[in-house]
A = this chain, B = another copy of it.
Amino acid sequence: MKHQIKVEPQGTILYCEGGSILLNVLQQGGFMLDATCGGRGRCGKCKVWAESDEWDGKKEILSCTTAVNSDLLVTLPVQEKFLDRKSMLLKTHTFPVELNLTKKFLKVKKASIEDGKGDVERILAELKLDRQVNLAVTKQAMEILAKSKEGITVVFDDQELIAIEQGDTTNEFFGIAFDIGTTTVVGSLCDLITGKVLVTVSATNPQRQHGGDVISRITYANEGAGNTEKLQEEIVACLNEIINKLCKEAKVCTKHIYCATVVGNTCMHHLLLGLNPTQLAIAPYVPVVQRELRVNPEEIGLKINKQGSLYVLPNIAGFVGADTVGVILATGLERVSEPTLAVDLGTNGEIVLNSGHKMVACSTAAGPAFEGAQITYGMRAAEGAIEKVEINNGTFKLKVIGNSKVKGICGSGLIDLIAQLLKHGVIDPSGRIVEPDLLSSDMAFLMERLRSNGKSYDFVLAFPEESLSGEPIVLKQKDVRELQLAKGAILTGIRMLLREVGLNMTDLKQVYLAGAFGNYVEVESVLGIGLFPAIPASRIKAIGNGAGIGAIKALLSDQEKERAELLAKNIIHLELASKPEFQDEFIQSLRFPVQTSVE
């Protein structure tokens, strides 16, 4: 029996068979609901309000665990307009252009009985070139020479004639650098003549509806025939939407976009190219391909000039992808002579160490805690998110994005919060939220924020009157554990890389912190939670969206592409889980640092 589902506020009517899972019905109907946990009823991101004749009034339900057994009136949550931090970091830069991709304006003689050369041959004669051309260029020669009195513009990739345009279009020459994150996708439109980043826009990765992390995407890809293709279609559609937005904003015609680059983790890389990611999730975690790929845009349906090309940066390993290569391009990590570390904080933490002599890399399953996911009131950086916490002089102060009432807490806010709570003894080094009577006397004002839930204590961040929903916003013990696991994973990776090259934490002369997140978090807080113990704050440098910057550099420079290829070949990848000392290191890394004093 079919049931009707009316979706508000859009007013759309959907139909489904009885017993269908509401989340699937909504997703198939084109409504993108987050399902960070992959529809396993855990993350709570797919909550909707629903009404039915079968029950009383409105109920908030998890759409991923609701089977539709009656007609429903569903109200979707208001879409958050999250802060576009990743793209904000990419604006108004200019990079050096070193490209073999070039344009040239040309006038071509008309054919005559004396000079009866073919269209293609007359163009090549003008260029003093004798090479094969492809069929697409041959067709353009025919079409454009026939109507082009004013001259033509030829496009070269090195010595190869790849396209012909009518008239003088030498100044209309663009490329797009994509950074495909598991959560956020960013595209930057660049001028191939000036090297300027013209516009950057971002979008939520539509694959998010199948799960928030790479493992849930891989699981989804495996669940049904055609799912890999579906994931590919989704991400390609997202890139095409970004292309449209970029072109509209910069008033650029898509046909003048002759190249694109892509960075992303190995799973995002595989899904973009339609490569089955299954083996990434099974030991020995090998990717289908590591080296760079040059892809015909039409092969994957990317809507740039089809005679241009898409350069996909190389992967280092199954879990150290092209995004990490991008970070290295951005930092110049391979060129330093003293021990230097680059950490890309995301759902997976990728870590690369240059000892000064060799480069080693690993990845750690940090989980999405740094992005505010799987935290009870975690959310992305958007209006209503706590982004900073201060405990000072007997007061507890929050900085909330948009100066609104509190809705939740974002990743940088969470680190700040936990660092502050550690510092003031509300959380002890084992990660436990302490009982109120263990608080030091000058922290007594925090006592009212500690509320027992029977098993452990919750820390109240916002009381009902400060909260957007009217419900208290709290940090739960389990949330601290999530962050602890995440920071423990990263720290384990760092320690094992150092051990591999025979160095200590104190030998590190510089730590690059990549990820949009790194630019918004307080370095003191990062140190406070013990992500990088025993390093002076001055040695930590946030570099913003390193992966995205790397993609732009590679877009604008063939030398940077070569750098990327060399990096991917020469970096030694460490598979952490295969090392016998891994478990021990991990357990040691979970503890928070002992706080020295409270000023």
Mark A residues whose CB is within 8 Å of B: 111-113, 115-121, 132-136, 138-139, 141-142, 146, 273-276, 279, 283-296, 299-300, 315, 317-318, 573, 575, 578
Contacts and interface: CB of A to CB of B under 8 A. Distances in A.
B121 A275 contact: no
A510 B279 CA distance: 67
A273 B116 contact: no
B132 A295 contact: no
13 contacts: A113-B283, A116-B285, A116-B573, A117-B286, A118-B287, A121-B289, A121-B290, A132-B293, A133-B293, A139-B275, A139-B288, A141-B289, A146-B279
A288 B119 contact: yes
Given A284-B111, A290-B117, A274 B139 contact: yes
A188 B82 CA distance: 63
A578 B120 CA distance: 23
B291 A132 contact: yes
A276 B318 CA distance: 49
A191 B584 CA distance: 62
Contact of A286 (B116, B133, B279, B292): B116
Contact of A135 (B135, B139, B273): B273
Contacts of A133: 289, 291, 293
Contact of A138 (B117, B288, B296): B288
Copies of this protein in the assembly total 2
Nearest to A274: B139
A124 to B, nearest CB: 8
Contacts of A141: 288-289
Nearest to A292: B132
A284 B142 contact: no
B135 A295 contact: yes
B289 A113 contact: no
Nearest to A136: B299
Contacts of A132: 291-294
B116 A288 contact: no
Contact of A291 (B120, B273, B275): B120
A135 B291 contact: no
Contacts of A288: 118-120, 138-139, 141-142
Residue in A135, A283, A299 with the greatest tally of chain B CB atoms within 10 Å = A135
A116 B317 CA distance: 8
Contacts of A117: 286, 290
A138 B293 contact: yes
A290 B120 contact: yes
A137 to B, nearest CB: 9
Contact of A294 (B134, B292, B300): B134
A109 to B, nearest CB: 11
Contacts of A275: 138-139, 142
A132 B289 CA distance: 10
Contacts of A292: 132
A335 B290 CA distance: 50
Contacts of A299: 135-136
A527 B587 CA distance: 100
Contact of A578 (B113, B119, B295): B113
Nearest to A266: B118
Contacts of A134: 293-295
Contacts of A138: 273, 275, 288-289, 293
Contacts of A287: 118-119
Nearest to A295: B135
A584 B473 CA distance: 103
Nearest to A293: B135
B120 A575 contact: no
Contacts of A286: 111, 116-119
Contacts of A294: 132, 134
A304 B491 CA distance: 54
Residue in A120, A142, A295 with the greatest tally of chain B CB atoms within 10 Å = A142
A276 B142 contact: yes
B293 A112 contact: no
A116 B575 contact: yes
A296 B111 CA distance: 29
B139 A575 contact: no
A239 to B, nearest CB: 16
Contacts of A146: 279
Contacts of A115: 284
A283 B115 CA distance: 11
Nearest to A575: B113
Contacts of A279: 146
A402 B116 CA distance: 47
Nearest to A111: B286
A275 B143 CA distance: 9
A196 B134 CA distance: 30
A133 B133 CA distance: 21
A121 B565 CA distance: 13
A527 B293 CA distance: 62
A116 B276 contact: no
A121 to B, nearest CB: 5
A318 B120 contact: no
A317 B134 CA distance: 19
